[in-house]
Each structure stands twice: as structure tokens, then as C-alpha cells.
Amino acid sequence: MGLTDYDISFGVLGNICEPYVDTVSSVACSKLSVSELWEYLAQYSNYFGVFMLISGMLLTFIGRKLLKPAVCFAGFLTSILISCFIFYAVYVE
């Protein structure tokens, strides 16, 4: 890639405590968007629904034996959900 592919601001922008250089490229990836996570969940919501129905039916009929794995899996999903919310709160545009 040549220098013509970039829009570079020559010189340092910002103040003396927080300097930055602004570099923009027409061939670069877009900014990180957390909305892609929600698009993924919406796209595969039918599969997640079927999985939840099957797991709910299993817990209904043989729940006594699957109680410890269900609590472990629920804790795993809760930690993932909390991590997603923290990630979303930190990197929201």
C-alpha cells in the first residue's frame, strides 16, 4: 500500500498530556461494533430456542440427575452475559 491510501494528519493532535495522531485508511476494517453480537443472536435465535426447549424438557423429566450440570451451565451463561454487558458498556460508540 502506498501513502495515497491513507489520510494522515501531519503533526500531533490533542494536548500535551493526551497527544494522538489521526490516521484514516480507505482499505481498513470498520470500527468494532458490539451490535454484531446482537445481530448474531437474532440470526440464530431459532436454534437457541430449540436448544432451550430440549434442555427444558430434559430438566423436566430427569431434572434430579441433571441439577448440578444445569446449575453449572446457568452460572456459565450468567458470567458470559455479564461479560457481554461489561464489554458493551466499555466499548459502546
Residue for cell digits 423436566? 60
Per-residue pLDDT of the chain (93 residues; tens, 9 = 90+): 555 655 555 566 777 787 776 666 556 555 555 677 778 888 999 999 999 999 889 888 888 888 888 899 899 999 999 998 888 788 766
Could you give the CA distance from residue 91 to residue 93 in angstroms, rounded to a whole number?
6
- In the chain, where the domains are located: 3-91
The confidence score (pLDDT) of residue 6 equals 58
The confidence score (pLDDT) of residue 39 equals 83
Phi, psi (degrees; rounded to nearest 5) at 14: 90, -160
The confidence score (pLDDT) of residue 54 equals 93
The structure's pTM equals: 0.43
Q: Taking the CA atoms of the chain, what radius of gyration do you get in angstroms?
A: 23
The confidence score (pLDDT) of residue 78 equals 96
